[in-house]
Amino acid sequence: MAKIVAGIGSSHVPSIGPAYDAKRFEEPDWKPLFDGYKPVKRWLAEEARPDAIVFVYNDHGSDFALDRVPTFALGVCDEYQQADEGFGSRPLPVVTGDADLSWFIAKELIYDEFDITVCQEMKVDHGLMVPLPLLFSHQGGWPVAVIPLAVNVIQHPLPTARRCFRLGQAIRKAVEAYPGRRRVAIVGTGGMSHQLHGERFGHLNPEFDQHWLDLIENDPERLANMNHRDIMAAAGAEAVELIMWLVMRGAMTPKVRLVHRNYYAPMTTGMGLIAFQDA
């Protein structure tokens, strides 16, 4: 039987990628961000030890063009290439998948009335490629198989926060029904507060972000009741990506044990990290 061994919420700010590749880990601007991931990376490698990770992220128009945007899309491949976001590929190994577990989850979700798009070909962009190396070391390849789940947080109408939370609950059921042995982690990425266009360009709300981190741990139902407009008004239009953290939280037990939490907001985007274990 498979089981959920870790739940993680993480930002996926694109500028982290080049800073990571240039190894700017000790520079004052980046150190608080990179240091925040160290305990979680260690905990995943030494204690949680997942074989597979359900990676909830959004595609930023890199693989899904805006003429066809699936609300929820699950990859069922054995490997995933990086999407080219205009700067070529980053020096990272090809992402390995787990087609058997992916197909099983796809089938269970659809029979559970989540009509996801099933992708036998999928390229992954910074939504996935930024957090992945922050969470797992990759000398000689990734130590974990990735099951990408793309959520539309780009083109309205978006799925509701509640729908994302329920999807997480359905993913837990699917994982626990899998007949093979797997230790499965789930990560919800995106946010935190930011707005990258218009009059409120650069809008940051660290207070909202800290409150979100409190509630995702202790009262996720309250977050699941929020509507897009409230999140966007408080924390910036692109902060609506945070609904993807609720997929992760829905897959965990109602009470969780906090493993680690970090927050850093130097410029235009609140960068958060939180890691849980089932209580």
User: Active-site residue numbers?
Assistant: 126, 194
Question: 72-75 and 123-124: which strand pairing?
Answer: unpaired
Contact (CB, 8 A) for 128 and 95: yes
Token pair 């595609």 is found at 59
Question: 271-278 and 256-264: which strand pairing?
Answer: antiparallel
Radius of gyration of the chain (CA): 17
Backbone angles phi, psi at 268, to 5 degrees: -105, -5
Q: How many other C-beta atoms can be found within 10 angstroms of the C-beta atom of residue 111?
A: 10
Q: What is the distance between the alpha carbons of residues 58 and 77, in angstroms, rounded to a whole number?
A: 17
Contact (CB, 8 A) for 206 and 271: no
The first and second tokens of residue 120, run together, are 């036998």
